[in-house]
Amino acid sequence: RQDRQYVHGSTIGAESERRQAHLPLLLHPEPKRVAFLGLGTGITSSSALRHESIERSDVVELVPEVVEAALLFAEPGDGSLDDPRSRVIVNDARHHLAATQESFDVIIADLFFPWHSETGYLYTVEHYRTGRMRLAAGGIFAQWVALYQVGLEDFLLIADSFASVFPVTTLWRGEFGDWQALLLLVGSEAPLALEGAALERRLASLQASPGWDDAVLVDVDDLLDLYAGDWTALRPDRLNTDEHPRVEFLAPVANRGQTQIVWRLGEFYRRYLERLPVAGVRYAARPGESAPDLGSGRIRQLVPAEPDR
């Protein structure tokens, strides 16, 4: 907690926090090198080591004390921060991406608090351009956005700025029907190529790992149902940039006035997500499986009622 008020993370939300690593990693055919921008509790980044293909996981954290605190959230016998494949780097995420010459198959940007001073610079066009430069061939950049942290204007600025940089931007739900709603922006050079048989094998491997408790990523169909569609910039002339960091100034207004999207979730889905195109994913069906309707998952995503204030 910060100032005894705002909860930054806890083991209560561990299932969702693990999924924040699993989902973007599953969207890459064989992720070997992953970078996490932000450590937090360490639950998300440690989950990457469950994926058999991972050879190196770099975690960039700004605050040294957060690295110390993450040890308190480690599960008994986890050892993820001591794993030779994992490296924790105390640095500013933007500075690290700009300075490193390394490339990554997947870059995962954490749930940054958009109303904190200068955090809005982690949602700018310039930052996403740097991230795109640090992707290996076929790599993806994954930006999580909490709909309980942003208002509609904030989200549009973030999503449009992101989509202005990446040739293909797909949008994914983090869960179904939870008032703690998360959306994932995935940027890539080309449509995501997903193979049903490979995903089935990888999910089975994850589910066989100790402590697996994800009730959303049960099978391939569930994963595909999280796909909300493709996002293109609705207002390419109004973006979040280093020169005009609009998110930093607008997000506190939404937070203070309780006008975050989560309070109008159903309206938001129907207005913006219900009819998004679904050309950003190319799915190779499993033997004997008919080609799925990639837009059908949005039926599960529409929330029937708004949460209570």
pLDDT at 297 > cutoff 60:
yes
Q: Which of 95, 83, 105, 109 is nearest to 21 (CA)?
A: 109
Ramachandran assignment for 39, one of left (phi > 0), alpha (psi -120 to 50 degrees), beta (any other): alpha
What pLDDT score does 114 carry?
A: 87
pTM, two decimals, is 0.93
If you average pLDDT over residues 149-171, what whole number do you get? 97
Where residue 41 falls among pLDDT bands split at 50, 70, 90?
confident
If you average pLDDT over residues 98-107, what whole number do you get? 97
Instruction: State the Cα–Cα distance between residues 150 and 254, nearest whole angstrom.
Output: 6
pLDDT digits (tens, 9 = 90+) for 50-87: 999 999 999 999 988 888 888 777 765 555 667 899 99
Instruction: State the Cα–Cα distance between residues 175 and 147, nearest whole angstrom.
Output: 12
Structure tokens that stand for 225 in this block: 């149902």
pLDDT digits (tens, 9 = 90+) for 122-158: 999 999 999 999 999 999 999 999 999 999 999 999 9
Determine contact, residues 124/245, Cβ cutoff 8 Å.
yes
pLDDT digits (tens, 9 = 90+) for 6-34: 666 666 778 899 999 999 999 999 999 99
What pLDDT score does 309 carry?
A: 44
What pLDDT score does 141 carry?
A: 98
What pLDDT score does 305 carry?
A: 45
Determine contact, residues 182/144, Cβ cutoff 8 Å.
yes
Per the prediction, the chain carries an average pLDDT of: 90
Task: Give the three-state DSSP class for 301.
Answer: helix
Determine contact, residues 233/164, Cβ cutoff 8 Å.
yes
pLDDT at 177 > cutoff 70:
no
Where residue 227 falls among pLDDT bands split at 50, 70, 90?
very high
Task: Give the three-state DSSP class for 176.
Answer: coil
Half-sphere exposure of 238 (CA within 13 A, CB side): 9
Where residue 308 falls among pLDDT bands split at 50, 70, 90?
very low
AA letter at 304: P
What pLDDT score does 76 carry?
A: 56
- Burial label for 112, CB within 10 Å (0-12, 13-18, 19+), is buried
What pLDDT score does 255 carry?
A: 85
Instruction: State the Cα–Cα distance between residues 124 and 240, nearest whole angstrom.
Output: 5
pLDDT at 300 > cutoff 80:
no
pLDDT digits (tens, 9 = 90+) for 249-296: 999 999 888 899 999 888 898 899 988 999 999 999 999 998 888 988
Determine contact, residues 49/61, Cβ cutoff 8 Å.
no
Instruction: State the Cα–Cα distance between residues 283 and 89, nearest whole angstrom.
Output: 36
pLDDT at 187 > cutoff 70:
yes
- Other Cβ atoms closer than 10 A to 103: 14
Instruction: State the Cα–Cα distance between residues 154 and 119, nearest whole angstrom.
Output: 13
Residue that has been written with the tokens 């837009």 in this structure? 295
Q: Which of 261, 232, 245 is nearest to 160 (CA)?
A: 232
Helix and strand totals (H; E) in the chain: 11, 10
